[in-house]
């Protein structure tokens, strides 16, 4: 018997959804930073076994949209609610549980099997964890509750076993050697975006998007040219930094991360351009891949 299914990871910003998916898949597919709204897309990570295929989806954190980019991010979240075989609702030991009432209601009404993953148990005590589990039992009575630490690899095997146990019978959805639905170009742009989230403060990372202009693969080396789009002239100056020092740092960090990801040398060229209103312009958003 072969099992297969979609296991969709949903939850508030910063609870560790991307960390969890990467740990379950064993690859660094989703970028991770300490800032909220790092993840903007739905990203699939596929785990294949002889007699199973689990298709995980990492999604943006639940939010109230205030510009079109965020509306599109929430579309990815709602989409992930409709096609799941199993929902992993991720919460952690530090967030308040009352924030995503609408999504929790949708989960209750969906009738989809749900596992509440309480992440970051490394930051709490057994007593506090038990009290938290109690409130989750009341919030989602039908759900199973699994405490983990995605960062420290605690109880991920237990979570995996539970998922596999609930996976429906069925054929594989994707070729058995596939790892994700996204392209190398996508991962290249995400890696640059991650380094921007890590190196700049305040609104700059949230006003930034990446376009890969060229991706040329050769046996020993990939040549990648990318443009960093920002919303304002002043942000262009911040991204570039004094005599180009900041852009150089981002470029070096991104190149090193790409080389690790690809297992080969990378030649990376970065440009910076201003693009006033890409976060609110449908055509621009489509160009950056924000559509269902
Ligand atoms: P997302 O926004 O839900 O995708 O969250 P991320 O995966 O980007 O993680 C947000 C922050 O939480 C990052 O700084 C992670 O390193 C941290 N984090 C994730 N899992 C754990 C965990 O198990 N324990 C602790 N202490 N931190 C974690
Ligand atoms: Mg994320």
pLDDT, average across residues 165-171: 97
Total count of residues recorded for the chain:
292
Residue closest via CA to ligand 1's atom 8 equals 32
pLDDT value at residue 278: 83
Is 292's pLDDT higher than 60? Answer: no
Distance between CA 284 and CA 268 in Å, rounded?
24
40's tokens: 């903007």
Distance between CA 287 and CA 176 in Å, rounded?
30
What pTM, to 2 d.p., does this model score? 0.91
Q: Which of 12, 16, 77, 149 to mutate for ligand 1's pocket (most ligand atoms within 8 Å of CB)?
A: 16
Ligand 1 proximity of 61 Cβ (cutoff 6 Å): yes
Residue closest via CA to ligand 1's atom 10 equals 14
User: Residue 102 Cα, ligand 1 centroid: separation in angstroms?
Assistant: 23
Report pLDDT digits (tens) over 232-285: 999 999 999 999 999 999 999 999 999 999 999 999 999 999 988 888 888 888
pLDDT value at residue 160: 97
Place of tokens 């910076």: 272
- Output DSSP code: residue 145: E
Contact in structure between 177 and 199 (CB atoms under 8 Å): no
User: Residue 34 Cα, ligand 1 centroid: separation in angstroms?
Assistant: 7
């Amino acid at each position: 018997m072969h099992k297969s299914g979609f296991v969709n990871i949903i939850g508030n910003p910063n609870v560790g959804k991307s960390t969890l998916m990467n740990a379950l898949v064993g690859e660094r597919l989703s970028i991770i930073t300490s800032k909220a709204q790092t993840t903007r897309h739905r990203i699939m990570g596929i785990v294949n076994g002889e007699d199973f295929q689990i298709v995980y989806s990492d999604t943006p954190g639940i939010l109230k949209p205030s510009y079109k980019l965020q509306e599109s991010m929430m579309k990815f979240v709602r989409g992930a609610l409709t096609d799941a075989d199993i929902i992993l609702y991720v919460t952690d030991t530090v967030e308040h549980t009352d924030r995503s009432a609408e999504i929790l209601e949708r989960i209750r009404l969906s009738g989809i099997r749900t596992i509440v993953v309480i992440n970051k148990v490394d930051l709490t005590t057994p007593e506090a964890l038990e009290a938290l589990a109690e409130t989750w039992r009341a919030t989602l009575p039908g759900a199973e509750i699994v405490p983990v630490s995605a960062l420290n690899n605690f109880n991920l095997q237990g979570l995996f076993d539970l998922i596999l146990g609930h996976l429906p019978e069925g054929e594989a959805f994707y070729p058995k050697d596939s790892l994700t639905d996204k392209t190398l170009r996508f991962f290249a742009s995400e890696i640059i975006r991650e380094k921007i989230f890590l190196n700049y403060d305040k609104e700059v990372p949230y006003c930034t998007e990446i376009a890969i202009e060229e991706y040329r693969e050769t046996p020993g080396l990939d040549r990648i040219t990318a443009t960093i789009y920002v919303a304002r002239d002043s942000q262009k100056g911040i991204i570039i930094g004094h005599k180009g020092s900041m852009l150089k740092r981002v470029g070096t960090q991104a190149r090193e991360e790409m080389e690790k990801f690809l297992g080969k040398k990378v030649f990376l060229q970065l440009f910076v351009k201003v693009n006033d209103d890409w976060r609110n312009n449908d055509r621009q958003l489509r160009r950056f891949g924000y559509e269902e």
